[in-house]
């Protein structure tokens, strides 16, 4: 349709020409580069940008530092802490269970000492101790594993009375009694029979006979003094018994030495005079008694409803005759000790110190004294002590070595006596260097083969060829192994197992999950059913069966873990591929002709890698935990140390030596926490979507 309102007019030629003048130009400084907009950032690489983002996460940086330190220690500690005295492939029986030590003893922290509480001690073992004060000066820890010189800050805390024989108790009373329902009217507690006793060879004295006095003890000990339940006080007599032959038969004769109504307040009673004064002995002029013995006799009494007993604290003989050892061997001033005496010695000979009893022989009011003290295990192991000939003898070959090194001078002479036996007649010893382990020689003995035994004092850390008192930062275990070196040897094995297993599982899981997640459909359905079947098998069953069939070695553990360990990585990879495969940049690349392999490797996988790595990197500590778990079942690595093996071997020591589990557990905890934090930082660092961000 024609528009009549429009009128076309042709402009003149002058108006159609464009005129350019000098004013239309603007001068520009050619020394500067001209851009439409000034760059706000510098060009960077993917690695530099990732490192920058990682460094901004302080916790991840600290975790990376801890992991790096642990890795370096696992490499260098086993190398630089070796030597002939620190080879963990061997066991050192002399240095078992040493406490961790970093500082000198006495600092109270990490100094190789341990405070022991409520330890039973023997305070009456010294033969010259009489008063309680003297006895406490000669106290001795029980059991004998404690070395007295390594004990400090001792404090006696509690005294407990017991009526059961106890290896840690001392003193008390012998409860000698008879039951009211017993058929016997009289019972005896008697010494070993002396086949022949010649009283003309010397006098026999009753030096002490201390019978329980309840009133006296109540005044001294108050409520601690008590009489046995269901018993009443009986009356005891002291008798000498022997046998004579009458009409061809042995007939028993007795001489009453102390009547049952005696107070027994004696200082030294001459038993020989009483025996010689006996009418039958005098009449028959007997001086040698056959099958003789001393006995304590207790009568039942008229009341059959009550049990009777007498409590005896001390009974001591004294004699100078030929049977001195035999008779005085029957002495006792420690009822608890008497209760441990057996009828036979270790060589099955008759024990002449044993007291037999036809009635009841029990213990009453023995004391168990408890003590708290600080114990220095290093002083007890490596300090200066008496030479222990049974465990660590100093032999002639030792002395020759010390003399050859010019640490000492040593010589001795031996002779042969009339019986043809060797004996040392003279010896000389002089210590010339502090390097000499032996500090004093007190005695030298020699056997029939001319082999000598040396007695004296020795500094045991020198004896075991240490230059100074050793220190073990993490202590030692039951095999004497240095736990500091042992833990990092085990850590090296555990890390190697974890890293290799992680690498294999990560690669398999990444490839498997990428294919499953990218293609989807039937491919994904089939692959998922395979993982469902494998994931349904408990890993501990898979690992146990693999180990039982292929052995407990490094390769088997790695194989058992890799059989199903890749499934979790595959599942995470599949999830991430489902998340990113439909994004616009993937569709754009596909429309431009990118292949499936390029789409997976260049576009989807880099964006998904952050989450995958964060979760998968925790597989390393997980593998270490798995190995530790299987080690608790007794299927740990054989011939190799690992954190799992260390924890398994020391689990029974948790309450006594907790450091054996604390240090390996701390290392595992640090690994777990550090890998977690490190994985979080790594996730942000490799996430391409965060490239160039300042936060």
DSSP letter at 39 equals -
Is 495 among the domain residues? yes
Q: Are 386 and 442 in contact (CB under 8 A)?
A: no
Is 5 among the domain residues? no
Q: Which of 330, 364, 398 is the last residue of a domain?
A: 364
Summarize the confidence of residues 342-367 as an average pLDDT. Answer: 88
Q: Is 423 found in the same domain as 352?
A: no
Report pLDDT for 6: 53
Tens digits of residue pLDDT in 596-610: 888 888 888 887 877
Taking each helix axis from N to C terminus, what angle separates 659-685 and 605-616, rounded to the nearest 10 degrees?
A: 170
Is 425 among the domain residues? yes
Q: Is 561 found in the same domain as 671?
A: yes
Tens digits of residue pLDDT in 447-485: 877 788 899 999 999 999 998 899 999 999 998 999 999
Report pLDDT for 671: 86
Q: Is 372 found in the same domain as 347?
A: no
Q: Which of 329, 364, 399 is the last residue of a domain?
A: 364
Enclosing domain of residue 391: 383-463
Is 279 among the domain residues? yes
**Tokens linked to 12:** 């003149």
In the predicted structure, residue 113 carries a pLDDT above the cut 90: yes
Q: What integer best gives the mean pLDDT of the chain? A: 83
Is 94 among the domain residues? no
Q: Is 193 found in the same domain as 333?
A: yes
Q: Which of 428, 463, 498 is the last residue of a domain?
A: 463
Is 44 among the domain residues? no
Phi, psi of 228 (to 5 degrees): -55, 140
CA distances (Å), origin 508, targets 523, 562, 563, 653, 660: 17, 9, 10, 41, 37
**Tokens linked to 15:** 């108006």
**Structural domains in the chain (count):** 4
Summarize the confidence of residues 12-21 as an average pLDDT. Answer: 64
Report pLDDT for 234: 87
Q: Range with the lowest mean pLDDT among 157-161, 210-214, 232-236, 636-640?
A: 636-640
Helix (H) / strand (E) element for 160: namely strand 151-162
Q: Is 340 found in the same domain as 216?
A: yes
Tens digits of residue pLDDT in 293-351: 999 999 887 767 778 889 998 999 998 877 788 888 899 988 998 999 988 888 888 88
Summarize the confidence of residues 674-683 as an average pLDDT. Answer: 82
Q: CA-CA distance, 248 to 222, in Å (whole number)?
A: 57
Q: Are 127 and 139 in contact (CB under 8 A)?
A: no
Is 52 among the domain residues? no
User: Which residues lie closer than 8 Å to 354 by C-beta, 6 or more apart?
Assistant: 192, 341, 342, 343
Phi, psi of 271 (to 5 degrees): -75, -30
Q: Are 240 and 271 in contact (CB under 8 A)?
A: yes
Q: Which of 412, 411, 431 is nearest to 423 (CA)?
A: 412
Q: Is 281 found in the same domain as 157?
A: no
Report pLDDT for 139: 64
**Tokens linked to 141:** 């820890």
Q: Is 123 found in the same domain as 179?
A: no
Q: Which of 306, 282, 310, 283 is nearest to 296 (CA)?
A: 310
**pLDDT class for 675, splitting at 50, 70, 90?**
confident
In the predicted structure, residue 34 carries a pLDDT above the cut 60: no
Higher pLDDT, 613 or 391: 391
Q: Is 389 found in the same domain as 358?
A: no
Q: Is 272 found in the same domain as 155?
A: no
DSSP letter at 350 equals B
- CB-count exposure of residue 106 (10 Å: 0-12, 13-18, 19+): exposed
Q: CA-CA distance, 561 to 551, in Å (whole number)?
A: 14
Summarize the confidence of residues 38-44 as an average pLDDT. Answer: 59
Is 277 among the domain residues? yes
Q: Which of 648, 644, 690, 688 is nearest to 668 (CA)?
A: 644
Q: Range with the lowest mean pLDDT among 6-10, 90-94, 233-237?
A: 6-10
Q: Is 683 found in the same domain as 599?
A: yes
Report pLDDT for 66: 92
């Amino acid at each position: 349709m024609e528009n009549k309102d429009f009128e076309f007019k042709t402009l003149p030629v002058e108006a159609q020409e464009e005129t350019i003048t000098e004013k239309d130009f603007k001068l520009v400084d050619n020394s500067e580069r001209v851009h439409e907009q000034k760059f706000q950032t510098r060009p960077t690489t993917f690695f530099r940008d990732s490192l920058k983002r990682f460094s901004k996460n302080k916790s991840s940086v600290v975790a990376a530092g801890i992991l790096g330190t642990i890795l370096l220690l696992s490499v260098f500690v086993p190398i630089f802490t070796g030597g002939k005295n620190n080879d963990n492939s061997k066991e050192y029986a002399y240095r078992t269970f040493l406490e961790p030590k970093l500082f000198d003893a006495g600092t109270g922290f990490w100094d190789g000492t341990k405070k022991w509480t409520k330890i039973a001690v023997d305070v009456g073992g010294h033969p010259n101790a009489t008063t309680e004060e003297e006895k406490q000066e000669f106290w001795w820890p029980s059991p004998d594993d404690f070395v007295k010189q390594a004990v400090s800050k001792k404090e006696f805390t509690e005294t407990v009375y017991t009526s059961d024989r106890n290896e840690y108790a001392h003193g008390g009373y012998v409860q000698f009694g008879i039951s009211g329902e017993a058929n016997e009217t009289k019972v005896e507690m008697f010494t070993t029979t002396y086949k022949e006793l010649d009283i003309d060879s010397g006098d026999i004295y009753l030096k002490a006979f201390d019978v329980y006095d309840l009133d006296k003890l109540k005044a001294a000990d108050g409520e601690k003094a008590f009489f046995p339940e269901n018993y009443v006080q009986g009356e005891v007599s002291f008798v000498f018994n022997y046998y004579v032959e009458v009409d061809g038969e042995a007939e028993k004769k007795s001489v009453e030495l102390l009547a049952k109504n005696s107070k027994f307040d004696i200082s030294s009673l001459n038993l020989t005079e009483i025996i010689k004064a006996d009418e039958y002995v005098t009449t028959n002029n007997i001086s040698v008694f056959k099958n003789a013995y001393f006995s304590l006799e207790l009568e039942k009494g008229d009341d059959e409803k009550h049990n009777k007993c007498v409590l005896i604290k001390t009974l001591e003989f004294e004699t100078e005759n030929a049977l001195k050892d035999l008779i005085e061997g029957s002495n006792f001033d420690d009822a608890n000790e008497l209760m441990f005496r057996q009828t036979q010695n270790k060589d099955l000979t008759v024990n002449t110190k044993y007291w037999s009893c036809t009635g009841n022989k029990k213990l009453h009011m023995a004391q168990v004294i408890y003590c708290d003290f600080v114990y220095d295990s290093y002083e007890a192991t490596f300090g200066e002590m008496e030479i222990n000939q049974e465990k660590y003898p100093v032999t002639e070959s030792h002395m020759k070595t010390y003399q050859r090194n010019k640490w000492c001078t040593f010589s001795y002479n031996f002779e042969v006596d009339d019986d043809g036996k060797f004996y040392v007649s003279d010896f000389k010893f002089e210590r010339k260097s502090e390097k000499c382990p032996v500090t004093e020689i007190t005695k030298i003995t020699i056997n029939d083969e001319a082999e000598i035994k040396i007695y004296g004092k020795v500094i045991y850390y020198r004896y075991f060829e240490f230059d100074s008192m050793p220190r073990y930062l993490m202590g030692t275990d039951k095999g004497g192994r240095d736990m500091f070196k042992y833990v990092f040897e085990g850590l090296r094995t555990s890390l190697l197992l974890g890293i290799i297993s992680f690498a294999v599982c990560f690669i398999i899981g990444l490839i498997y999950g990428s294919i499953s997640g990218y293609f989807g459909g039937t491919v994904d359905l089939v692959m998922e059913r395979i993982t469902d079947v494998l994931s349904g098998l408990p890993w501990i069953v898979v690992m146990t069966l693999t180990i039982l069939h292929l052995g407990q070695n490094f390769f088997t553990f790695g194989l058992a873990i890799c059989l199903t360990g890749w499934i979790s990585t595959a599942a995470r990879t599949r999830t991430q591929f489902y998340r990113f495969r439909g994004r616009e940049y993937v569709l754009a690349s596909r429309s431009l002709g990118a292949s499936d392999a390029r789409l997976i490797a260049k576009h989807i996988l880099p964006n998904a890698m952050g989450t995958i790595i964060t979760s998968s990197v925790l597989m390393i500590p997980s593998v270490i935990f798995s190995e530790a778990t299987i080690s608790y079942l007794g299927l740990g690595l054989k011939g190799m140390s690992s954190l799992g093996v260390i924890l398994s071997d020391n689990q029974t020591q948790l309450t006594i030596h907790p450091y054996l589990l604390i240090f390996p557990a701390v290392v595992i905890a640090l690994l777990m926490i550090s890998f977690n934090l490190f994985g979080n930082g790594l996730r942000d660092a490799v996430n391409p979507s965060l490239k160039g961000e300042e936060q």
